[in-house]
């Protein structure tokens, strides 16, 4: 979730004292890293130093890091501050907004229903949610009826935010609320009804255009087919079998953050904006403003998770640790390019997109990843060759990741250079598995054919 829309209701700047305190904390981390983590495995100090330098270079208050290999969690650490004002450090199990890594979760949920025989990827999506109708009573484009589940999963549904705008971000989401009854934030159903009035930007299935809206639709399909709320289905059928307990859809305003959730910070010097949330008045930091309301985008970008949770999910996808939430055949579909080469990966290799995952085309042992972010957060999780998985989540985002087309790829590429296979394999890792320390007892999936 990387919206490029900047609010025009800019009021005042964040206090410089807070920024200086944050940077001072990171400098302290850099100076004291060896003493602070005496249990660091031999060779890891070079990776850790590079990671701390990365935090300092981007003025990031806090981060959490998890590294796994061959199905075992071998490192889980928190860095910096979860709450600057309270001087609360990030813990390994602290939860963060994960942005568009949510799309990987939603894609797994879709494949779970496909395996159960309840869904087909080539079924027209809107035929499955007939109760959600365009507000005008008529589709704005006849081609909408041809959009399949596969099209939504591969961002080829026909919507291009660079042409028609981003319906889940202000100012368009404010317009949707005003034109669908005035409730803010608007429900996912209200957003869909409004978009169905409008024409598509291209023929479904003919090209890739990143679409948050398409994954909002997928959430409603999952609810209809599964017969239960989207988040409940994900928690029961996907997360609980892996022992993941703290993941949940996040909330927009600060007062509603989850017990282990970090505080989010805009980039240093960022202005405050007027809150769009009806329960909050006056200027607030942009991460809590409602310019991107998480209540409206559950299945597209609203989940919160720890770096450990994300590593566990990718370990499952890599088939390294039971229980197998999905079959190998379903996972293979997710990590197979569907639209050919789409560009260059953050590491400089040809890249494509599967089902909710970016794919780096590096030969038979392709690498794949998910990343996401918006004001106040960034998340990256990657599966590398030779059995490696790493994830990192942050409670701020550099300005250039929000307002430039190259910012987010450069952010991910910098992290990938820190956690390369070569760097990871230079460390003498201990023979440990930390997953049982942080995760609960796996539950039995309840889905039935």
The pLDDT tens digits of the residues spanning 317-326 come to 999 999 999 9
Show the DSSP H helices in 208-296 as ranges: 212-226, 230-234
Q: What is the pLDDT of residues 236-267, one digit of tens each?
A: 999 999 999 999 999 999 999 999 999 999 99
Pick the range with the lowest mean pLDDT from 184-193, 290-299, 348-357, 391-400: 348-357
Task: Specify the range with the lowest mean pLDDT, choosing from 167-171, 338-342, 353-357, 406-410.
Answer: 406-410
The per-residue pLDDT for range 420-437, each reduced to its tens digit, is 999 999 999 999 999 999
Q: 394 - beta bridge partners?
A: 63, 378
Which domains, ranges and CATH numbers included, belong to the chain?
Answer: 105-236 (3.40.710.10)
Question: Residue 375 half-sphere exposure, CB side, CA atoms within 13 Å?
Answer: 25
Structure tokens at 187: 């429900």
CA angle 244, 245, 246 (to 5 degrees): 110
Give 385-404 pLDDT, tens digit per residue. 999 999 999 999 998 877 66
pLDDT digits (tens, 9 = 90+) for 163-183: 999 999 999 999 999 999 889
Share of the chain above pLDDT 70, in %: 87
Q: CA torsion sign, 264 to 267 to 270 to 276? A: negative
The band of 79, judged by pLDDT with boundaries at 50, 70 and 90, is: very high
Whether residue 45 is predicted with pLDDT greater than 50 in this model: the reply is yes
The Cα–Cα gap between 119 and 128 comes to 9
Contact of 311 with 71, CB cutoff 8 Å? no
Percent share of the chain, pLDDT over 90: 79
> In the prediction, which pLDDT does 366 show?
77
**Distance (Å, whole) CA 270 – CA 438:** 35
Tokens standing for residue 399: 């300005």
Q: What is the pLDDT of residue 407?
A: 67
Select from 292, 299, 316 the least CA-distant residue to 171: 292
Task: Give the position of tokens 């026909």.
Answer: 158
Which candidate, 315, 369, 385, 392, places its Cα nearest to that of 71? 315
Question: pTM here?
Answer: 0.91
What is the predicted pLDDT for the residue at 47?
Answer: 97
For the ranges 27-31, 209-213, 328-332, 334-338, the lowest mean pLDDT is seen at: 27-31
CA–CA gap between residue 420 and residue 382 (Å, rounded): 10
φ and ψ of 343, to 5 deg: 165, -150
Give the pLDDT confidence score for residue 447 in this predicted structure: 60
Distance separating the N- and C-terminal Cα atoms of the chain:
33
Name the maximum alpha-carbon separation found in the chain.
66
What the block records as the tokens of 227 is: 């017969």
In the beta sheet, which residues pair with residue 256? none
């Amino acid at each position: 979730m990387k919206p490029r829309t900047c609010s025009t209701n800019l009021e005042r700047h964040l206090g410089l004292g807070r920024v200086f305190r944050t940077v001072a904390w990171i400098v302290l981390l850099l100076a004291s890293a060896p003493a602070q983590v005496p249990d660091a495995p031999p060779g890891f100090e070079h990776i850790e130093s590079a990671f701390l330098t990365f935090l300092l270079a981007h003025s990031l208050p806090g981060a959490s890091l998890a590294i796994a290999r061959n199905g075992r969690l071998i490192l889980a650490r928190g860095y910096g501050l979860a709450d600057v004002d309270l001087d609360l450090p990030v813990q390994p199990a602290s939860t963060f907004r994960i942005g568009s890594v949510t799309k990987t979760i939603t894609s797994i949920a879709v494949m779970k229903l496909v395996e159960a025989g309840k869904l087909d990827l080539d079924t027209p999506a809107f035929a499955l949610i007939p109760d959600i109708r365009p507000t005008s009573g008529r589709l704005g484009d006849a081609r909408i009826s041809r959009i399949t589940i596969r099209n939504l999963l591969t961002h080829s549904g026909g919507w291009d935010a660079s042409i028609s705008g981003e319906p889940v971000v202000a100012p368009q989401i404010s317009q949707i609320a005003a034109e669908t009854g005035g409730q803010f934030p608007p429900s996912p159903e209200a957003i869909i009804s409004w978009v169905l009035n409008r024409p598509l930007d291209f023929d479904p299935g003919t090209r890739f255009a990143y679409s948050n809206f398409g994954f909002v639709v997928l959430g409603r399909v999952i609810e209809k087919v599964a017969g239960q709320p989207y988040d409940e289905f994900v928690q029961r059928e996907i997360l609980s079998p892996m022992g993941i307990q703290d993941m949940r859809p996040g909330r927009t305003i600060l007062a509603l953050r989850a017990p282990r959730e970090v505080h989010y910070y805009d980039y240093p010097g960022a202005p405050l904006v007027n809150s769009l949330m009806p329960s909050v008045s006056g200027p607030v930091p942009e991460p809590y403003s409602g310019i991107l309301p998480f209540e409206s985008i559950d299945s597209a970008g609203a989940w919160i998770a720890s770096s450990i949770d994300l590593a566990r999910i990718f370990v499952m996808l890599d088939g390294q640790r039971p229980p197998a939430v999905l079959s190998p055949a379903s996972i293979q579909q997710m990590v197979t390019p569907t639209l050919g080469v789409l560009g260059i990966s953050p590491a400089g290799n040809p890249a494509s997109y599967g089902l909710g995952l970016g794919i780096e085309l590096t030969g038979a042992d392709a690498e794949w990843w998910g990343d996401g972010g918006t004001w106040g957060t960034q998340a990256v999780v990657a599966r590398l060759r030779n059995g490696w998985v790493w994830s990192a989540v942050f409670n701020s985002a550099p300005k250039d990741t929000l307002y430039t087309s190259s910012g987010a790829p450069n952010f991910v590429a910098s992290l990938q250079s820190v956690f390369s296979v070569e760097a990871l394999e230079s460390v003498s890792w201990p023979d440990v598995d930390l997953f049982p320390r942080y995760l609960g007892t796996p539950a039995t999936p309840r889905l039935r054919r």
